[in-house]
């Protein structure tokens, strides 16, 4: 009788086949993922679960709902490695050691002439990564218990840097450690949404050439995002520290009449509309994220397009956010998109959001250009575009050929 039980190689190759079928991978990255054993970085987990395309928590957070550390979704790992484009001989710093799996992949990609340094602020996570790398034959990878915001200057400069934790800002210390012409990939958060951004350093400017939707556990030590609770805490606005959003002016906003405005844009069942959010951040400082809980929905608050994470516009004592409704008037794109508004300026804000929806709908694949500059860069040294100021950096977003 033939044993039909899949081997570990079978499981690993099936996972890589699944990822590559949806998003073709560079050959070297595909080969690395077929080589490195994810199951050995997740001891105690059923190998069949280790080779599924999902994140795995390795350390819970006693102070909140998000894990302190986890093994990222393999397809996201592959996507970010493709953005980083590691080459043989590269000297790479990874911020966020996790299970050590990503560092092992990096070690495969840079080869014997390269160097990998991975750091993590949590001693237990760093130890897990060290032991897993030793167990899998990557004992030459340097693992350090270190605050990721400080990097590892004693081993700089790095030709590439990658963060596997969410960042709200690019730390000033990282600028000093990335070689000119070097590449940085990080999950960067602004205006409530996160993108894996690929940047190349050109002197005092980081220039992006790729952005991909993602979600990561936030790094410890950055506090640029604020949360404002409304409707007895059942609705939460997640916004940046420079945005004038507060509970006082918005305290009664959800007791005001609802305004709904609909765009002509429609989406299919599997079609993403996160590009609306991204595009809006390139011109509008009122953009943030709304989170509407089940209790708020039961209390009559209008359901956002995605209750946990939908783009919203907030100004003074009014708010508008993205809504979606399936009406099946178009079988290919059965859902229409619109805006729900509350407060005295609900109509104006809803109209602004409909404009963002309409602009996105004309070119759904459009991605803004991005440059990042040190915090002290003067206005006249910045390219033309929309500026988002943070503690250590100034980000400029723009669409080529526009004044956005």
Which residue numbers are catalytic? 72
Q: Please give the full DSSP string across 155-201, using - where no structure is assigned.
A: G--EEEEEESSBBSS--HHHHHHEEEEEEEEEEEEETTEEEEEEEEE
Q: Which residues contact 92 (CB under 8 A, 6 or more apart)?
A: 84, 86, 106, 110, 114, 115, 116, 117, 158, 159, 160, 161, 162
Q: Which two tokens stand for residue 282?
A: 């390139």
Cα distance between residue 394 and residue 387, in whole Å: 7
Q: Which two tokens stand for residue 39?
A: 């199951």
Cα distance between residue 111 and residue 93, in whole Å: 15
Q: Is 269 helix (H, G, I), strand (E, B) or coil?
A: coil
Of the candidates 37, 39, 53, 198, the residue with the CA atom closest to the CA atom of residue 105: 37
Cα distance between residue 18 and residue 209, in whole Å: 26
| H-state helical runs in 65-122 | 74-84, 101-110
Q: Is 295 helix (H, G, I), strand (E, B) or coil?
A: helix
The DSSP letter of residue 78 is: H
């Amino acid at each position: 009788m033939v044993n039909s039980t899949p081997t570990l190689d079978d499981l690993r190759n099936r996972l890589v086949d699944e990822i590559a079928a949806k998003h073709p991978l560079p050959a070297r990255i595909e080969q690395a993922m077929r080589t490195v054993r994810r199951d050995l970085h997740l001891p105690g987990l059923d190998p069949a679960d280790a080779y599924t395309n999902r994140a795995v928590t390795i350390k819970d957070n006693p102070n909140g709902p998000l894990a302190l550390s986890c093994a990222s979704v393999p397809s996201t790992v592959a996507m970010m490695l493709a953005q980083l484009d590691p080459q043989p001989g590269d000297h790479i710093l990874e911020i966020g050691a996790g299970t050590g799996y990503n560092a092992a992949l990096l070690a495969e990609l840079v080869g014997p002439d390269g160097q990998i340094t991975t750091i993590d602020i949590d001693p237990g996570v760093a130890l897990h990564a060290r032991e897993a790398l030793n167990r899998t034959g990557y004992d030459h990878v340097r693992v350090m218990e270190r605050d990721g915001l400080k990097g590892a200057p004693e081993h700089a400069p790095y030709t590439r840097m990658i963060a596997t934790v969410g960042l709200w800002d690019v730390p000033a210390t990282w600028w000093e450690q990335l070689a000119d012409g070097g590449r940085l990939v990080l999950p960067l958060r602004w205006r409530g949404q996160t993108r894996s951004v690929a940047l190349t350093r050109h002197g005092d400017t980081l220039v992006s050439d790729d952005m991909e939707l993602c979600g990561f556990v936030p790094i410890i030590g950055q506090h640029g995002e604020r949360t404002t609770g409304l409707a007895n805490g059942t609705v939460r606005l997640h916004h940046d520290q420079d945005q004038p959003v507060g509970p006082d002016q918005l305290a009664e906003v959800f007791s005001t009449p609802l305004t709904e405005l609909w765009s002509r844009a429609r989406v299919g069942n599997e079609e993403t509309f996160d590009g609306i959010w991204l595009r809006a951040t390139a011109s509008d400082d009122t953009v943030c994220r709304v989170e509407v809980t089940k209790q708020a929905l039961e209390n009559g608050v209008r359901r956002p397009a995605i209750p946990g994470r939908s783009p919203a516009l907030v100004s003074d004592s009014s708010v508008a956010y993205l809504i979606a409704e399936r009406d099946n008037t178009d079988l290919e794109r059965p859902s229409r998109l619109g805006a729900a508004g509350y407060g005295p300026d609900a109509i104006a804000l809803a109209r602004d959001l409909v404009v963002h929806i309409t602009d996105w709908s004309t070119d759904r694949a459009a991605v803004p250009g991005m440059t990042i500059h040190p915090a002290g860069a003067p206005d006249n040294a910045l390219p033309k575009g929309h500026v988002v100021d943070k503690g250590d950096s100034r980000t400029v977003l723009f669409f080529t050929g526009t004044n956005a």
